[in-house]
Amino acid sequence: MPPQHFDTIVIGSGLAGLTFALDAAKQGPVIVLTKAQLWESNTSYAQGGIAAAVGESDSWQLHEQDTLIAGAGLCDPAAVRFLVQEAPAAIEWLASLGAQFDKETDLTDWALGMEGGHSRNRIVHHADRTGWEVERAMNEAVRKEPNITILENAFVTDLLMQDGRCIGCAMQDRDLGIRSFTSRAVILATGGAGRLYQHTTNPRIATADGVALAARVGAAIQDMEFMQFHPTTLYHPQMRSFLITEAVRGEGGTLRNHQGARFMYDYDERLELAPRDIVARAIDAEMKKLQTWCVYLDMTHLARSHIERHFPTIVERLKGVGLEPHKNWIPVVPAQHYSCGGVVTDLNGRTSIPGLFAAGEVARTGVHGANRLASNSLLEALVFAKAAASALSGESAPKIKPTSLGNRHSILEADALRIRRSLEKTMTEHVGIVRHNRGLAQASNRVAELTQEYKDLPEAPPDVYAIEAENLLIAAKSVIDGAIARQVNVGLHYNADLDIAPGHQPKTSIAPK
């Protein structure tokens, strides 16, 4: 089957991909390729909200300052300023599409929440399921746009290149086999890499596909070592890695160890509202110090009506496992949550490969630096996807020659399962919240062994789960290589064998050997 041509190809259907698609559709036909259903994305699982300086006591300058502090000196200042200045307009645009955000009782102003690392209440939200509401509104808008074609269960296996330029992609269709598409531009909006780890808040689709696609064609990848672990995910066998939003601590929730003590006093003067990297390492340290399997999030001092109004989804889910947050402490542990690094882009979403753009979690825009400020992720996806769509007007259409689809090596699903489980164990043990030189070296060797094993296994019919394994191995190498090269502790990268970076010394050691 010859390649089908569209003006633009969007790979992924979260907020970044669908924002880009809606704006790009004004210039020509767009196809959205998504590996599962349209709604299935990291966006759908975002609880907290979207940061924007829209309150009377707030300003973009304060939002900028908080973002730079969280990023521990490694943010790109130009990218941060662009992000925070565009934030209020981004919220209004989402609202114009029908996204319903919570308002104050007078129904005129947004109800603004507080989260760790922010100096003001600036989190625009829809109770505790903001991502779901945003994805709902985006799905409805995209399905109404006649210039957008949606192809679900479409797993992209390769980017097509011609004379150093990206001209399209090849994909595995569940029913029709290998198909290809060509275009003037391709955007990666494939989300994160959470499935590198045993414990993650990410959905099953977060298998680093975009990073691997970009790496295979030589695109620049950077900062993958900055892997954010959310401090508070539910510790319960029936609801593994269910996220308890940062907004719970913003509303007054406190952290306690097995002895009942509020331990954040020992780690940071901002207590439970310190940036995520500090809180996650503090929890990790308390668990190791007391040899326990979790810590506890305490909301029992808050009014039941307040909890139920602000966190209805969390209350309902906890009730299903016999926990009532107005009565019970919630057992929590950190879990992988967000990839701050990824495919390097400029302010217009362009990668180092002509014709290839990236936006959302797959991209490294420079906004997050060494640590993402809470609720900047949905904002980043939206702002930079719109910038990328605007930059499309400067992309000329290449004269496309006949091109080979290639043949992505696949293996049996059983072999892929074994490789993926070994990879998850390796990354969790050696490339997690606290790292060591010896562990990083062991992880590097193990990933090299697994990569060679994958290559040496017999060819099998194309299988999505198997090709995801290869994608995860490529991403894992980037994470490990970055962690080994990063010879100073900063933000989310903490190697217990290195001295702590100046300006980031906690009150007490948070990484006991």
Nearest alpha carbon to residue 405 among 156, 212, 178: 178
Tell me which H or E stretch contains 356: strand 356-358
Which distant-in-sequence residues (6+ apart) come within 8 Å of 421 by Cβ? none
Q: Which residues are registered as beta bridge partners of 500?
A: 489
User: Do the beta carbons of residue 276 and residue 116 sit within 8 Å?
Assistant: yes
Q: How far is Cα 124 from Cα 349, in angstroms, rounded to an integer?
A: 24
Place of tokens 């060679």: 452
* 276 has catalytic annotation: yes
Nearest alpha carbon to residue 475 among 359, 375, 300, 343: 343
Nearest alpha carbon to residue 11 among 425, 351, 460, 393: 351
Q: How far is Cα 249 from Cα 231, in angstroms, rounded to an integer?
A: 11
First-to-final CA distance of the chain: 58
Query: What DSSP string describes 28-55?
Result: S-EEEE-SS-TT-SGGGG--S-EE---S
Tell me which H or E stretch contains 468: helix 464-485
Q: How far is Cα 440 from Cα 483, in angstroms, rounded to an integer?
A: 8
**Angle of helix 437-456 versus helix 464-485 axis, rounded to 10:** 150
Q: How far is Cα 444 from Cα 426, in angstroms, rounded to an integer?
A: 9
Under DSSP, is residue 200 helix (H, G, I), strand (E, B) or coil? strand
Query: Which of 276, 350, 372, 435 is an active site residue?
Result: 276
Q: How far is Cα 154 from Cα 464, in angstroms, rounded to an integer?
A: 10
Q: How far is Cα 156 from Cα 296, in angstroms, rounded to an integer?
A: 41
Residues with catalytic roles = 276
